[in-house]
Structure 1
Amino acid sequence: MKILSYFTRAVCCDNNHCIIRQLFCNFSTQSWILLRPKRSFSTAHNASDPSLPSSKYFEKLSNKEIQEDKHQDEIVKLLDNVYLNIKSYAPETKSFFSFLKEKRKQPKGLYIYGAVGGGKTMMMDIFYESCETEQKQRVHFNKFMLDVHAKIHEVKKILARDKAKSYDPIPPVANDIISKTWLICFDEFQVTDIADAMILKRLFTELFHLGVVVVATSNRPPDDLYKNGLQRSNFLPFIDVLKTYCDVASLSSNIDYRSIKSNAEGSSTKTYFVRNFANEKKLHGIFKMLCSQENDIVRPRIITILGRNVTFTKTCGQILESTFDELCNRDLGSSDYLQICQIFHTVIIRNVPQLNIKLRSQSRRFITLIDALYDNNIRLVVSSDVSLDKLFSNEAVEDVHHSDEHRMLMDDLNIKANDGTDANLKANIFTGEEELFAFDRTISRINEMQTSEYWNKNRGPEINITG
């Protein structure tokens, strides 16, 4: 009756907020606990728990699938902590009584950085597979940002139809993301695009506020993200946000396990060839053998991607034989390469030149292409002008001038070349520091894509390729 009396007063009284708060404060502690969702975090290790990431990691060690590495041992302990802390976690949903609940501290994520091939992605994948929640996503950072830009565009179109005078598309985009997932595992967290850099703080501040937990891998520590980038001062607050919600750990074994695995298998599984008569003959034989497994003829094919028609001159079923010019000298991007991964299980790339910072656009497209193929387990065969270890050259670029593309970008952002950002623009776009990191990763991934383990794990037919 006493509670009913309080509710009656709350309905009649002008100061409803205070009365309702008094009502709940007068509940017993036990009653209050019953009303609150159970979300407890633990940091203690339970080595006997087979669901822990460390259990799966040590199982791989015992099966000789991986080599023992003390640096990876330390990382898996940190991933165990994250796993335990989120095991019974879910973001709080908003309700009428949300203002009465004490804001609980959400568990921290983990940001892992280190050199290429050191096992960062493998460690994150072990963690991801261990997590039982269905509201999780494992995604390459570039693809995630591509989706974000598409969602922002859609929100802007809707708001424009409603003739809203002022609007911020970030909150509805963040709400859409957390409605599907609250645990996001990012592979290859890197920032090279000014459009990404300008929205990251606002987007992730909103996502973290909604309860998102992030685990990420990167070649760079957080403080070096978007280093020397255009208008980097506007990006710097994002680094603080990231470090507030994620612990930072270095996986610095300085060993490229992909290259070790590739070299251990020798030349019997090579899918990469330096261009010469003998190797061109081998490539032709590979294509012919692959085509014999397909229920199709060799023919040109037009693929419609986001309303655009992209033509490839030589395909057969799920086999694409293309050239570097077709794939990287045209205006193609992440969405195009992801669509290719949905259609083909094997991609042959002929005539790859030695890449350098002068060929910046083509090099970026090639890096993005390899990332997409690797992430989707697509078979890769490459013919190049040079050996793999010489595929990228970091020769200096002289007589630098702004390209039309970057002048247009500066115009769109209302940036003038003499406003103090010109030096940063040159540093980021033309010294290629970010590209050098990406080049190393690309070579490492191509190395792994030469192994029989990689070659036979995708959705294509099992065949034996010799180089």
Structure 2
Amino acid sequence: SWEPWLVLLIRSPLSSSPAVGQSGPYETSHCRQTLPEESRPPKGLYIYGNVGTGKTMLMDLFYSHVTNSRKKRVHFNSFMLDVHKRIHRRKQSLPKRRLGKMFTYDPISPVAMEISREISLLCFDEFQVTDVADAMILKQLFETLFKTGVVVVATSNRPPDVKLRNMYFSVCVQEYCHTVCLDSGTDYRRLDRPGAGKLYYLSGEPGAEAYLDTLFEEMSIRQRSPRVLTVLGRDVILQKTCGSIADCTFDELCGKPMGASDYLEMARIFDTVFIRHVPILTLTLKDQARRFTTLIDNFYDKKVRVVLLAAAPLDRLFVHTGGEDERDRQLLDDLGLTDDAAERLTLFTAEEEIFAFQRTISRLMEMQTETYWVEGDRSYSSRHLNS
């Protein structure tokens, strides 16, 4: 069912014409384009479906066929980090305000215009918003991007109507994108493929810690030492590293206020990360669970290899128990939302965590295969490229 949309996009003027996205803002009324039909860019795609069904593969296949250089393929987390940096840079460039002098400045539309001048096609993976502030930024950002002719191809586990309703998104996403459900009912990452050895250990197994110690010793070729990563002006300390390998605990990576920027920096430096003492993740550990899914998302996107020591097998690592915590209650009060309204927001339910963790489990399954392990060996990749 997706082939016609793929062919339509590949054969569209977007594939070669540099003019797309450069003609300036569209005159719109409730997101309605009023330019002549022949002047409009093609609609984008919003591809959704269950985990492991080939959404990213399809998007990458399309992206590789687009010859227009004004294109960008990025993971959703990286995209949001870039947007926040652009907003921060614009705010920093403002003249200093004198005491008592108040003025309002909205940097989101200028940032969107800046992006639209750079690209005419934006492909991004794993569209998932659980942060209210990000949702409000994206609403205004994408309204401007669409109006300036940027074509968006996105993948997500969630259908757009659910996400848009629950996270305040504009109906423009559905108006400017074809919605395609890609769900065969098969998670292809779970199909039998040659494994790369034992890479997932249970805490209760006799000698599990010793197995990880031995594997780390075998992979380590230089003196082990702590390493300090500087991320956005602050230090992230990893206690046990060696070259491109890091040996970390779950608490070290997910028990602290860390996020996508920290994990992206780790993925840039390390090709292999040991993660010890992963607990069973319940909703009472919602923050840690969200960080863990973000960690694995970024590692998977950058082909980082992982070895895990966990409290339960993969299919029993996430348990849907517990409920609203005190911080959620406080946020509801601050937003002035009733309990009925909160029930309709996935931010205050387990829906997003469940979907995200299904993706995490699926990706961890693939990350244990021989194919993934070989692709993630950067020293092998460098030798192969230089040979």
* TM-score, with structure 1 as normaliser: 0.73
**CA gap 1:131/1:93 in 2 versus in 1, 3 angstroms:** closer
The structure with the largest alpha-carbon Rg is: 1
Determine the C-alpha separation between the residues in 1 that align with 2:193 and 2:126. 26
- Alignment RMSD (CA, Å): 2.5
Partner amino acid, structure 1, of 2:326: H
1:361-383, Cα deviation, whole Å (9 max, x unpaired): 00000000000100001111111
Aligned residue for 2:138? 200
* Structure 1 stretch displaced more, 86-95 or 199-208: 86-95
Greater mean deviation of Cα atoms: 145-154 or 164-173: 164-173
State the shift of 1:316 in Å: 0.6
8 Å contact from structure 1 (residues 367, 439) kept in 2: yes
Cα 1:432–1:160, aligned 2, differ >3 Å: closer, same or farther?
A: farther
* CA-CA distance at 1:192 after TM superposition: 1.0
CA contact (8 A) 1:183 1:212 kept: yes
- 1:83 maps to 10
Deviation track 1:383-429 (CA, whole Å, cap 9, x = no partner) reads 101111111111243xx4422x873x568xx623xx53675179634
Task: Report the counterpart of residue 182 of structure 2 in structure 1.
Answer: 251
Q: 1:424 aligns with which of 335, 338, 342?
A: 342
Go from structure 1 to structure 2 and tell me whether the alpha carbon gap of 1:377 and 1:401 turns closer, same or farther (over 3 Å shift). closer
Structure 2 unaligned residues grouped into runs of 5+: 28-33, 382-387
State how far apart, in whole Å, the 2-side matches of 1:222 and 1:190 are. 10
How far did residue 302 of structure 1 move?
A: 1.5
Post-superposition shift, 1:209?
1.3
Q: State the partner residue of 2:369.
A: 451
CA distance in structure 1 between the aligned counterparts of 2:243 and 2:270, rounded to whole angstroms: 8
Corresponding residue SS for 1:393: coil
Match of 1:372 in 2: 298
Deviation of the 1:273 alpha carbon? 1.5
Say which of 109, 114, 128 aligns to 1:190.
128
| Secondary structure at the counterpart of residue 81 of structure 2 | helix
* Aligned match for 2:41, one of 69, 91, 106: 106
- Amino acid in structure 1 at the alignment position of 2:335: I
Q: Distance in 1 between matches of 2:89 and 2:343?
A: 30
CA contact (8 A) 1:136 1:181 kept: yes
Aligned to 2:201: 273
Residues 370-379 or 84-93, more deviating? 84-93
**Aligned residue number for residue 251 of structure 2:** 325
Equivalent residue number for residue 31 of structure 2: none
Cα shift at 1:289:
1.4
1:289 maps onto 2:204 in alignment: no
- Shift of the alpha carbon at 1:118? 0.5
Q: Give, as a single letter, the amino acid of the residue that structure 1 aligns with 2:214.
A: G
CA distance in 2: counterparts of 1:335 and 1:88, whole angstroms = 33
Instruction: Show structure 1 runs of 4+ deviating over 4 A.
Output: none
**How far apart are 1:119 and its partner, in Å?**
0.6
Map Cα deviations across residues 431-459 of structure 1 (whole Å, 9 max, x no partner).
31111000100000001100111111124
**CA 92–287 in structure 1, closer or farther in 2 if over 3 Å, else same:** closer
| Equivalent residues of 2:22, 2:117 under 8 A apart | no
- 1:287-332 per-position Cα deviation (integer Å, ceiling 9, x unaligned): 111112xxx3111112111111111111111110000000000110
Matched, 1:402 2:326: yes
The match for 2:240 among 305, 314, 318 is 314
* Residue 154 (str. 1) matches residue 56 (str. 2): no
Shift of 1:94: 5.3
CA distance in 2, matches of 1:106, 1:421: 42
1:415 pairs with 2:335: yes
Q: Identity of counterpart residues, as a percentage?
A: 45
Is 2:40–2:149's contact at 8 Å kept on the other side of the alignment? no
Q: What is the letter of the counterpart of residue 274 of structure 1?
A: L
Number of matched residues?
Answer: 365
Cα displacement string for residues 188-220 of structure 1 (whole angstroms, at most 9, x for unaligned residues): 111211011112221111111111001111111
Task: Say whether residues 1:176 and 2:114 are aligned partners.
Answer: yes
C-alpha displacement at 1:348, in angstroms?
A: 0.5
- Distance in 1 (alpha carbons) for counterparts of 2:182 and 2:35: 36
Q: Counterparts of 1:194 and 1:84 in 2: how far apart (Å)?
A: 37
Q: Deviations over 1:240-285 (max 9, x none)?
A: 101111101111101000011xx3325x533211122333232122
The Cα shift of 1:123 comes to 0.7
- The higher relative CO (CA closer than 8 Å, separation ≥ 6) is in 2
